[in-house]
A and B are shown apart, each in its own frame.
Chain A
Amino acid sequence: MSQSVNSTVSPSLVQRARRIASREPGLALGLLILTIILVVALFPSLFATHSPFNIDVNAAMQPPSAEHWFGTDDVGRDVYSRIVYGARITLSICAGSLFLSALIGGSLGLVSGYFGGLADQLLGRLIDVLLSFPPIILGVIITGILGPQTVNLILALSMVYMPVFFRIARAGAMSETGKTYVEAARSMGITEATILRKHVTRNVMPLIFTQYMILFPLILQIQSALGFLGLGVQPPAPDWGAILEQGKDFILFAPWMSVFPGLAVLLASLSLILVGRALQKRVDQR
């Protein structure tokens, strides 16, 4: 049974992959790296060679070797295994916070753009206030003042790009309101709330989703920067930014403690940028 399914599905999958790889090598590379990272994030225990928490002072600050691929940190933990386990923490925090901003910013933007009026004006003003801070600084203030806890980190990260989702959704909703199908729906007696929920939202969704992919690498950078400043996930949790924060004091003696977690952030960002760009191109073509 599974044999026959495989034989019918896999050739077309392989073909599709090949077609993407030849037409859009960037997208193919991005998808490949992203898939690997996601698999690692989902099943870290399959990839890790050591425990990410196990302290072994006798093995502290060892350079990369066959035993410790990425070396060990100042208390002898295996850097490779910490990065492997960190993928889930780092990426889920970014994905979750960005989802929150898309959800809240997007819904507010949709309502604001569709109905307009005083509420729209007031919300726009508030969003301007948030936008007046450079993104990193907004993250630094919120996590710095509320204290470095994961909940606060998620709150801070979700505030950073909420205005962007608000603006995208608002602009999308405004351009949709003028279209004939909305008028038609209105003349049929469909309520405004239903039009917004069922029709306008559905048409604005691709814009929001694309924006989500575009902003993901940016939020990852901010998340790791906050971790690096000591305002993110706190050690001993193997968050990528937190690993980098611990490594910076040993940068000249044990550079591997910083090289590899930074590379992890770089590769994740790279793959997300490549995929996001291809997505954007498609939305623009529509």
Chain B
Amino acid sequence: MGFYLLKRLLASILTALLASVLVFLLVRLVPGDVVSQMMGQAGGETAETAMRQFFGLDQPIYVQYAEWLMRVLQGDLGTSWTRGIPVTQLLFQAFFVTLEIGLLTLLIATLVGIPLGIVAAIYEGKPLDNLIQGFNILGLSAPVFWVGLMLLVGISATVSWSPPLRYMPPTRSLSDNLEILLLPILSLGLLQAAAYSQFVRQNVLSALHQEYVRTAIAKGVPVRLIFFKHILRNVLIPIVTFMGLILVQILGGVVIVESLFALPGLGRLLLTAIETRDYPIVQGALLIVVAAAMVVNLLVDLTYRLIDPRVRVS
């Protein structure tokens, strides 16, 4: 276990390093940097050179990368070029917004998706199953931002309520915070619930058709016991794996809902930083996103090993 963990960690770190190189190269090889954007037409050549020097853009790329990496290893992601604030501070604030959205979305997706999937599988082929499958397929087809917009229109038209325009952190006022997060979480959560329910249904169904279930029924084991002891236990493993997948999906989806509902999370920070060519933020934000996705995958892998002893052996 220890050796496996070490191997996985090393592989993840290597991948993250390569990803950071990729991002570093991508932002720098594209014409039009922050200096030309800040100076516009007005800038003279001397001023531009001085500013490039100030940002360290006059150095060769590998020197810039090495310097950036050395600082990252010391926990310093640099200072935002357009805002003058340390990137770690910006990311820290944004991260918690995104984390809250992500976890609440996962909560909704799990609470709605898993029961729906189980019910659909139990009532296979019945109207209820068809109804749930209809929900699943609509949820998989609908674009998340569109669902957000439709919820906004629908709710404001029927109950004349619309979300507050300014973001409020949960530490200041939890109710205001939840009020503003309601629509983004609902739109993202319902769509992911559809994916979840679809997946759970398939897995429960295939478990239901296993020989051991038939044997248990033939032996006269109570249905409740079969369900909890045999089926759920076997379905738990893929469900956990899928939870990781959903979390990574949500991580991507927040970029869209954050921009739609003007929430100051990682996604919107990344988008504005890309627009203004604020490289330190872009690099930092992507590092966090990639690292978060990796941590999720690693956790899924470890849980997998905990639930299923067979994986440990192989």
Q: Smallest distance from the beta carbon of A155 to chain B beta carbons, Å? A: 11
User: Does chain B have a CB within 8 A of A135?
Assistant: yes
* Chain A contact residues: helix, strand, loop or mixed: helix
Point out the residue from B142, B152, B156, B274 that lies within 8 Å of A266, measured CB to CB. B142
**Contacts A270-B137, A274-B137 hold; do A134 and B252 have CB atoms under 8 A apart?**
yes
Instruction: Find out whether the CB atom of B146 lies under 8 angstroms from the CB atom of A266.
Output: yes
The verdict on A129 contacting chain B, using a C-beta distance below 8 Å, is yes
A135 to B144, CA, bound (A): 14
Least Cβ–Cβ distance between B108 and chain A, in angstroms = 19
Q: Residue A57 at the B interface, CB < 8 A?
A: no
Cβ 8 A contact of B146, one of A134, A147, A258: A258
Q: Identify A273's interface contact among B141, B146, B259, B260, CB under 8 A.
A: B141
Question: In the complex, what's the smallest C-beta–C-beta distance from B143 to chain A, in angstroms?
Answer: 5
Residue of B whose beta carbon sits closest to that of A248? B149
> For the complex, is B303 an interface residue (Cβ under 8 Å from A)?
no
Closest residue on chain A to residue B279 by CB atoms:
A145
Contact A129 B138 (CB under 8 A): no
In the complex, chain A residues whose CB is within 8 Å of the CB of B252: 134-137
Within 8 A of B (CB), among A103-137: 125-126, 128-129, 132-137
Instruction: Please measure, in the bound complex, the distance between the C-alpha atom of A229 and the C-alpha atom of B146, giving whole angstroms.
Output: 12
Interface status of B69 (Cβ within 8 A of chain A): no
B residues 252-274 touching A (CB-CB < 8 Å): 252-253, 255-256, 259-260, 270-271, 274
In this complex, how many residues of chain B approach chain A with their Cβ under 8 Å: the count is 45
Evaluate contact between B289 and A140: CB separation under 8 angstroms: no
- Return the contact of A146 from the options B22, B30, B137 (Cβ within 8 A): B30
Q: Which residues of A contact B137 (CB under 8 A)?
A: 270, 273-274
Cβ–Cβ < 8 Å partners of B19 in chain A:
129, 132-133
B142: chain A residues at CB < 8 Å are 262, 265-266, 269
Name the segment of B10-18, B114-122, B166-174, B215-223 touching the other chain: B10-18
Q: In the complex the two chains form, is A224's CB within 8 Å of B143's CB?
A: yes
Of B140, B251, B260, the residue contacting A248 (CB under 8 A) is: B260
A267 to B15, CA, bound (A): 38
In the bound complex, do residue B150 and residue A259 qualify as a contact, i.e. CB atoms below 8 Å apart? yes
B-chain residues with CB within 8 Å of residue A142 when the two chains form the complex: 26
* Shortest beta-carbon distance from A9 to chain B in Å: 32
For window 1-54 of B, CB contacts with A under 8 Å fall at: 11, 14-16, 18-19, 22-23, 26-27, 30
The docked-state distance in angstroms from the alpha carbon of A255 to that of B11 is 48
Asked if B237 CB lies within 8 Å of chain A CBs, one says: no
CA of A221 to CA of B252, assembled, Å: 12
Residues of A within 8 A of B274 (CB): 140-141, 144-145
Render B127-157 as a binary contact track against A, CB cut-off 8 A, 1 for contact: 0000000000110111111100110110010
- Most B Cβ at <10 Å: residue of A132, A135, A274: A132
User: CB distance B141 to A144 under 8 Å?
Assistant: no
Q: What would 11 more interface pairs be, CB under 8 Å, given A252-B156, A258-B150, A265-B142? A: A125-B18, A134-B248, A134-B249, A137-B252, A144-B271, A217-B140, A221-B144, A225-B256, A252-B152, A266-B138, A269-B140
Q: Which residues of A contact B (CB under 8 A)?
A: 125-126, 128-129, 132-137, 140-142, 144-147, 217, 221, 224-225, 228-229, 244, 248, 251-252, 255, 258-259, 262, 265-267, 269-270, 273-274
What residues of chain B have their CB less than 8 Å away from a CB belonging to chain A? Answer: 11, 14-16, 18-19, 22-23, 26-27, 30, 137-138, 140-146, 149-150, 152-153, 156, 162, 248-249, 251-253, 255-256, 259-260, 270-271, 274-275, 282, 286, 289-290, 293-294
